[in-house]
């Protein structure tokens, strides 16, 4: 149980003791090395988010909150207007790092509202309020993870086989995780699951991170290639699919790591429940359908060269490398947040859910 505690309460994103830095675990180095990075500049923070050194929607939001706070402390301004203008420049710069992940813009806009709402209180007081707000974002995330885990666990049975895609565990959040949270919470309560983790090409978050977290916590995990998901479902080894999300449209379409929609199609064919788990902050009611979600395109080298000693494809070949895909709402059994479980029709349940 000690290893489980260490995994579920990992200190992966935190405000530096000097309150002028953000300290993160560099997730690109896992599982071979556990390396902490200290971020001090806008470029440091942008690069950490863009290069997936910090990743997972909730963790990105926490990092953004801490990041914009430490940058605010560096602003030299003679008045509120100058301060606000520079603050918004930092906000827009950081927000451009990962356009699909709504928690990034959500956290940055939340911090900006603190600035906009207290213009009469002086810059020193605004900085104090910004510090309180970024720490509150992290505290709320800890409570959110526990609540999502509770709701998700209510849908599972002891001994279930679970398939998951990408990584939505403690490394992607502040505590238990979202999609993996029910598994860790169940383990705490003596439940056993048999988890099949997709490797999640091309960046291998499932292989490097999910299998690492689950094995370290003593949860039965089997790593599979992405194209093996159909076979393990056909074999009857999967009773539920659990995945995270980076954005949820008003109609229930969800954006998640590339390959998620294929898992959903397979689950629908084999009659397996497909659950999406994430914080209510990922619900974007201003986004009507998944067609409006901007999908981030990444470097061709992630497919051809990354993780290989030498290139695995011809240098001249073209590559298409979207970071995310959109799972149609018709393929999703339920969407689970810290506020409860949403069922179709999502245009109704998500609107009610978001307003709670």
Domains in the chain: ranges and CATH: 9-145 (1.20.120.420), 147-354 (3.40.50.10470)
The C-alpha atoms of residue 21 and residue 59 are separated, in whole angstroms, by 16
Quote the pLDDT of residue 260: 98
Convert the pLDDT of each residue in 339-353 to its tens digit: 999 999 999 999 988
195 contacts 165 by C-beta, under 8 angstroms: no
CA dihedral sign, ordered 12, 27, 93, 175: negative
Does this model's pTM top 0.95? My answer is no
Residue 334 to residues 272, 285, 326, Cα–Cα distance (Å): 12, 17, 15
The C-alpha atoms of residue 193 and residue 197 are separated, in whole angstroms, by 12
CB atoms within 10 A of CB 270: 16
Query: How many residues in the chain?
Result: 356
Quick one: pLDDT band at residue 120, thresholds 50, 70, 90?
A: confident
Q: Write phi, then psi, for 244 (nearest 5 degrees).
A: -90, -165
Helices (H) and strands (E) in the chain, counts: 13, 14
Convert the pLDDT of each residue in 213-223 to its tens digit: 999 999 999 99
CA dihedral sign, ordered 85, 88, 90, 96: negative
The C-alpha atoms of residue 259 and residue 24 are separated, in whole angstroms, by 27
The C-alpha atoms of residue 40 and residue 48 are separated, in whole angstroms, by 11
Quote the pLDDT of residue 355: 67
221 contacts 180 by C-beta, under 8 angstroms: no
Check if 26 is active-site: no
Convert the pLDDT of each residue in 259-278 to its tens digit: 999 999 999 999 999 999 99
The C-alpha atoms of residue 130 and residue 73 are separated, in whole angstroms, by 10
**Closest C-alpha among 61, 41, 46, 71 to residue 131:** 71
**Closest C-alpha among 126, 141, 130, 129 to residue 172:** 141
Q: Which residue among 246, 253, 284, 325 is the active-site one? A: 246
Quick one: pLDDT band at residue 99, thresholds 50, 70, 90?
A: confident
Mean pLDDT of the chain: 95
Convert the pLDDT of each residue in 284-324 to its tens digit: 999 999 999 999 999 999 999 998 989 999 999 999 999 99
User: Which distant-in-sequence residues (6+ apart) come within 8 Å of 355 by Cβ?
Assistant: none
Question: Using CA atoms in the order 90, 96, 97, 100, what is the torsion angle rounded to 10 degrees?
Answer: 140
């Amino acid at each position: 149980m000690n290893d489980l505690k260490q995994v579920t309460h990992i200190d992966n994103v935190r405000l530096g003791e000097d309150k002028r830095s953000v300290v993160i675990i560099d997730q690109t180095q896992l599982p071979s090395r556990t390396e902490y990075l200290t971020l001090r500049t806008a470029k440091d923070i942008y690069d950490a988010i863009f290069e997936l050194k910090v990743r997972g929607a909730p963790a990105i939001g926490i990092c953004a909150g801490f990041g914009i706070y430490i940058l605010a402390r560096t602003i030299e301004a003679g008045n509120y207007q100058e301060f606000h203008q520079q603050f918004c420049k930092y906000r827009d710069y950081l927000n451009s790092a990962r356009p699909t992940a709504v928690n990034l813009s959500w956290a940055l806009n939340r911090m900006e509202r603190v600035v906009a709402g207290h213009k009469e209180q002086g810059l020193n007081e605004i900085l104090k309020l910004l510090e309180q707000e970024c720490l509150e974002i992290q505290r709320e995330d800890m409570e959110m993870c526990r609540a999502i885990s509770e709701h998700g666990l209510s849908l599972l049975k002891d001994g279930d086989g679970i398939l998951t895609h990408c990584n939505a565990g403690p490394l992607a959040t502040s505590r238990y995780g979202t999609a993996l949270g029910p598994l860790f919470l169940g383990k705490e309560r003596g439940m056993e699951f048999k988890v099949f983790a997709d490797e999640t090409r091309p960046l291998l978050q499932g292989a490097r991170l999910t299998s690492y977290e689950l094995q370290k916590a003593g949860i039965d995990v089997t790593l599979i290639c992405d194209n093996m998901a159909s076979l393990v479902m056909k074999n009857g080894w999967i009773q539920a699919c659990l995945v995270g999300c980076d954005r949820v449209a008003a109609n229930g379409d969800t954006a998640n790591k590339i390959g998620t929609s294929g898992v959903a199609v397979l689950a629908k064919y084999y009659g397996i429940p497909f659950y999406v788990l994430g914080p209510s902050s990922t619900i974007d009611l201003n986004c009507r359908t998944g067609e409006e979600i901007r999908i981030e395109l990444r470097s061709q080298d992630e497919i051809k060269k990354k993780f290989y000693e030498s290139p695995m494809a011809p240098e001249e070949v073209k590559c298409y490398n979207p970071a995310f895909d959109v799972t149609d709402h018709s393929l999703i059994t339920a969407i689970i947040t810290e506020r409860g479980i949403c069922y179709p029709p999502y245009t109704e349940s998500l609107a009610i859910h978001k307003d709670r």
